[in-house]
């Protein structure tokens, strides 16, 4: 695959899509990513029922998935045998921001923490350091959060 992208750089450029659609309840939606449909709802702290992931859960889950898969791929590429790679993600936010209760409270996560737990008994400290650097460097979701892209927002004309 890498060889193809080197020879045909345009073939490496993709556009991912997702659509959130209204459901029967105003505190939930369905998310269609083309390959699957997921359910999401507002967090219980803002009135959701607590029966599906909220958007914050999905954001942290996307980061955990990307970091874990990237770390596995890098370890394989580096020839580091692993017995376990687990990534745990936590994020802190103050719900007063999203509820508009305080202008002093930001909307969104204020802190996000990742913890990599890796069992690689045959790996050297140098290999693990290289794994850490490359896994962080090549994790798309982490890099997107660290260096946010411009976001274009379109609303229908009134």
Same domain flag for 31 and 65: no
- Domains in the chain, number: 2
The dihedral built from the CA positions of residue 19, 25, 28 and 32, taken in this order, carries a sign that is: negative
Instruction: Tell whether 70 and 92 lie within a shared domain.
Output: yes
pLDDT over 90 (residue 123): yes
pLDDT at 25: 85
What is the per-residue pLDDT for 125?
Answer: 97
pLDDT (average), residues 31-47: 94
66 confidence band (pLDDT: 50, 70, 90): very high
Three-state secondary-structure class, residue 134: helix
Task: Judge whether 109 lies within some domain.
Answer: yes
Evaluate whether residue 48 is within a structural domain. Answer: yes
CA-to-CA separations, 89 to 64, 68, 84, 151, in angstroms, rounded: 6, 11, 16, 24
| pLDDT tens digits, one per residue of 91-106 | 999 999 999 999 999 9
């Amino acid at each position: 695959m890498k060889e193809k992208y080197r020879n045909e750089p345009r073939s490496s450029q993709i556009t991912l899509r997702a659509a959130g659609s209204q459901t029967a309840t105003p505190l939930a939606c369905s998310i269609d990513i083309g390959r699957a449909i997921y359910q999401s709802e507002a967090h219980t702290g803002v009135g959701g029922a607590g029966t599906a992931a909220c958007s914050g859960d999905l954001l942290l889950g996307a980061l955990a998935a990307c970091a874990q898969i990237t770390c596995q791929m890098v370890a394989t590429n580096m020839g580091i045998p692993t017995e376990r790679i687990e990534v745990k993600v936590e994020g802190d936010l103050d719900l007063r921001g999203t509820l508009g209760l305080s202008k002093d409270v930001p909307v969104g996560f204020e802190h996000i923490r990742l913890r990599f737990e890796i069992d690689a008994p045959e790996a050297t400290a140098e290999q693990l350091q290289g794994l850490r650097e490359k896994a962080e460097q090549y994790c798309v979701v982490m890099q997107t959060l660290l260096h946010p892209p411009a976001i274009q927002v379109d609303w229908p004309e009134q």
